[in-house]
Amino acid sequence: MVQSLKTKVLINDLIKEFEIQNLILNKSGKTISWYSSNLKIFSQFLNARGHSCNVSEIGMDEVNEFILHLRNKNKYEGHPSMPPQQKKLSDQTILAHVQTLKSFFGWLERSAYIDDNPVKMLGRPRISRKRIEILTRKEIYQVLSAIDLKTPVGVRDTAIVMTLLDTGLRCAELTNLKMEDTHLEQRRLKVMGKGARERVVPVGSKVHAMLARYIHQYRPEPASIITDHVFLTAYGRPITVNGIQLMLKRLAKRSGVRRLHAHLCRHTFATQYLENGGDVFSLQTILGHSSLEMVRRYLSLSSDHIVSQHQRFSPLDKIGPGGEGR
């Protein structure tokens, strides 16, 4: 029988150990960082309210009080560098905190730091689903037209944007793409996704041509002999996620498509894939989702788009009262 370890163990003393356990479980660096940040926020809340930070003394009352606090908190409130906004935290942000606490306290119980998990029965907050307005064909044309194809960086940026729009890759997956993973003859990419799950992602003929143009004509010499990344900076170093985000931000301003960002490209790909006749099961494989839950959301978005298109182009709605066209 495992002996309980519940003797004045504080949350902050366990965050590093929790990080190590998640590394062993092969959780992504982003997820681990997200867990640690959320746990520090929870610990700060307990301190500010005069509650114990001893994990064995935290109960459902403190957790519920914390969630209510999040519901009433403004975005960036208490942030060290960002000014607060007159806007509440999103449902997704609150769900992220709940998921962090459920994962953390589940680990505490399994590790015998606590005898009972106080959040075992804590439900998931309801998420209000906002309809995502995907990029239109006109906007995609505007974005691509705003890139100067006469420069090596322009060819690289075009290859990046086209790949995002044609494959739905996540930003981190794109930056981690290696030369040995690009099988241009077969028009496919080998991608390492979340949880170290490998998958094969096909590319269309236009992306194939642009990738080949970048790789064979414009990709700079790598700064190091061990660098095998496909997308490089002008100095031959692997481009980072932050580098792509900054590039897209500049491109959004230059093209006039202000809402452009990497994940919107993923949404656009998924929705248009279904609209063009693709099936949900192949889409699930291409996107690297472990379940159909998120893919079903794209199916809903696709249906919404079809309805809105019908409302614009309904044949009978175009006929006037006397039979004349409008």
Q: Which residues are catalytic?
A: 170, 194, 263, 266, 289, 298
d(CA 326, CA 324): 7
Name the percent of the chain in helix, strand, coil, to the closest 5.
55, 5, 40
At 198 the three-state DSSP class reads strand
Alpha helices in 170-215, H assignment, sequence order: 171-175, 205-213
Determine contact, residues 236/220, Cβ cutoff 8 Å: yes
Q: What is the DSSP string of 275-293?
A: HTT--HHHHHHHHT-SSSH
Instruction: Quote the longest CA-to-CA distance of the chain.
Output: 85
* Strands of the sheet with 182-183, listed across from one edge: 182-183, 188-192, 198-202
**What single-letter amino acid sits at 238?**
P
Residue 159 contacts by C-beta under 8 Å, 6 or more apart in sequence? Answer: 207, 210, 211, 213, 214, 231
d(CA 258, CA 255): 8
Alpha helices in 49-90, H assignment, sequence order: 60-71
> Of 168, 167, 170, 147, which is closest to residue 158 (Cα–Cα)?
147
